[in-house]
Amino acid sequence: MSATIAPGSKGKVLLAYSGGLDTSCILVWLIEQGFEVLAYMANVGQEEDFEAAREKALKVGASKVFIEDLRRELVEELVIPTIQANAVYETVYLLGTSVARPVIARSQVAIAKREGCTHVSHGCTGKGNDQVRFELAYYALDPKLQVIAPWRIPEFYQRFPGRNALLAYAAEKGVPVSQTPSKPWSTDENLFHISYEAGILEDPNVTPPTDMWKLTVDPEDAPNTPERITITFKAGKPVRVTNEGDGTDVTDPLDLFLYLNTVARRNGVGRIDIVENRFIGIKSRGCYETPGGTILRAAHIDLEGLVLDREVRAYRDEHITPVFGKIMYNGLYFSPEGDLITKMVPLTQTNVNGSVRVKLYKGGLSMEGRWSETETLYDMEQSSMDVQGDFEPTDSEGFIKIQSIRLKKWGAKFQQN
């Protein structure tokens, strides 16, 4: 018979707590291992009953519970720079899960330091990206912190090989369990997006059921009348959204983003279904809803066509956009390269000032116009086919001759053969 370990004898651990079955069982298990457990929840815009989760954590043994509202810093520090960079992963994924991890980890580390915790812990699986994202952030922000990752500890994952084992443990330990039937997939939600993976979605050829999509109306059921909004940017940051139909006008960064979510959701905008390459080397099928972010990125790209210098845009697209996306996806925001790339993004956005008119209709969006009062590089007369302006057509002849020098030499080889 094993000796009982005194609670708290191994020090304090701050657990990233969701209120769900997994992290509730982890909380009790950590206490069994001799830790004093403090629970931490980050409000990043997910639809969650935080007070109910607080009460649950205290009931199952947490000595303290911290609930931090990180929504504003998520939008201002992570979401907007991601939009400025036009960043995506593998050309389609808008990094919805990835962008929230730095602010969540940073707050967890700050609380752990303040409370004298020797350890931090999380409920991430041993096959996913989030374990990497959280732990790389922990170690960068406080190299002395120790990490407990139960789903990588054989003693834990062999004891709890599936949901039924966790349910039995919860019943044994008096952990309250939701009576809501478990969905045949897992989700992660913040104000930028929601993700769906695992379960029935592991077969990449299974069509997601209609009731899976939580945020957006089915595009087929969206209103039959288009909705039109105007988004204004300053230095690449969205500073105003105006609804042309009802006159709604929003300027606060957080409120602006939440409003874009609202209009995108009711018009069915922002769904994707992809197979991606996880950082650890496993392919994964994921379905995502990124309503407001989809609108913002498309409008931002459109405005750049009007105001951004061609070579600056090309350099950013080749050297900054893909690197930013990879850094965010791989959990390297707190790194030398992460620090460098986040400082480079604003330098490309100085002249991205102006407004874009956007039409939303049945899952799609299109740009109906754009203008800038200060930064436009577009010259209507110079571009016109009806007005010569200050462009001399004969100058094109010399341009073509110079561009064709190497092509003539390349083509001549085929003539010789």
Whether residues 95 and 221 share a domain: the answer is no
Whether residues 35 and 168 share a domain: the answer is yes
Q: Which two tokens stand for residue 351?
A: 């002249």
Confidence (pLDDT) at 335: 98
Rg for the chain, CA atoms, rounded: 26
Whether residues 224 and 355 share a domain: the answer is yes
Q: For residue 284, is it within any domain?
A: yes
State the total domains in the chain: 2
Q: For residue 394, is it within any domain?
A: no
Which of 163, 182, 201 terminates a domain? The answer is 182
CA–CA distance, 417 with 387 (Å, rounded to integer) = 46
pLDDT tens figures, 15-57: 999 999 999 999 999 999 999 999 999 999 999 999 999 999 9
Whether residues 238 and 357 share a domain: the answer is yes
Which of 160, 182, 204 terminates a domain? The answer is 182
Of 227-241, 308-322, 392-406, least confident by mean pLDDT is: 392-406
Domain membership of residue 366 as a residue range: 187-308+351-371
Contacts of 171-174 with C-beta under 8 Å, sequence gap 24+, read 173/25, 173/28, 173/60, 174/59, 174/60
Q: For residue 396, is it within any domain?
A: no
Whether residues 163 and 242 share a domain: the answer is no
- More confident: 53 or 179: 53
pLDDT tens figures, 54-102: 999 999 999 999 999 999 999 999 999 999 999 999 999 999 999 999 9
Instruction: Please indicate, yes or no, whether the overall pTM of this predicted structure exceeds 0.85.
Output: yes
Q: What is the CATH number of the domain that holds 178?
A: 3.40.50.620
Q: How far is CA 340 from CA 4, 88, 333, 336, 343, in A?
A: 50, 18, 10, 6, 5
Whether residues 60 and 177 share a domain: the answer is yes
Q: List Cβ neighbours of 392 (8 Å cut-off, separation of 6 or more).
A: none
Q: For residue 342, is it within any domain?
A: no
pLDDT at 382 over 60: yes
Q: For residue 333, is it within any domain?
A: no
Q: For residue 416, is it within any domain?
A: no
C-alpha torsion angle, residues 379, 384, 386, 388 (rounded to 10)? 50
Beta bridge partners of 72: none
Distance of CA 216 to the CA centre of its chain: 17
CA–CA distance, 413 with 417 (Å, rounded to integer) = 6
Whether residues 174 and 30 share a domain: the answer is yes
pLDDT, average across residues 221-238: 98
Dihedral sign (CA 399, 400, 405, 410): positive
Q: How far is CA 344 from CA 15, 81, 204, in A?
A: 34, 10, 37
Q: What letter represents residue 166's amino acid?
A: L
Q: For residue 338, is it within any domain?
A: no
pLDDT tens figures, 295-321: 999 999 999 999 999 999 999 999 999
Confidence (pLDDT) at 1: 39
Ordered strands of the 119-121 beta sheet: 64-69, 36-43, 12-16, 119-121, 146-148
Whether residues 191 and 173 share a domain: the answer is no
Whether residues 192 and 140 share a domain: the answer is no
Confidence (pLDDT) at 220: 97
pLDDT at 172 over 60: yes
CA–CA distance, 303 with 358 (Å, rounded to integer) = 11
Q: What is the CATH number of the domain that holds 215?
A: 3.90.1260.10
pLDDT tens figures, 260-292: 999 999 999 999 999 999 998 999 999 999 999
Whether residues 160 and 27 share a domain: the answer is yes
Asked if 270 and 291 touch (Cβ cutoff 8 Å), the reply is yes
Confidence (pLDDT) at 9: 84
- Give the percent of the chain with pLDDT over 90: 87
Which of 165, 182, 199 terminates a domain? The answer is 182
Whether residues 237 and 160 share a domain: the answer is no
Kind and range of the H or E element at 233?
strand 227-234
Residues marked as catalytic: 22, 101, 130, 186
Confidence (pLDDT) at 416: 76
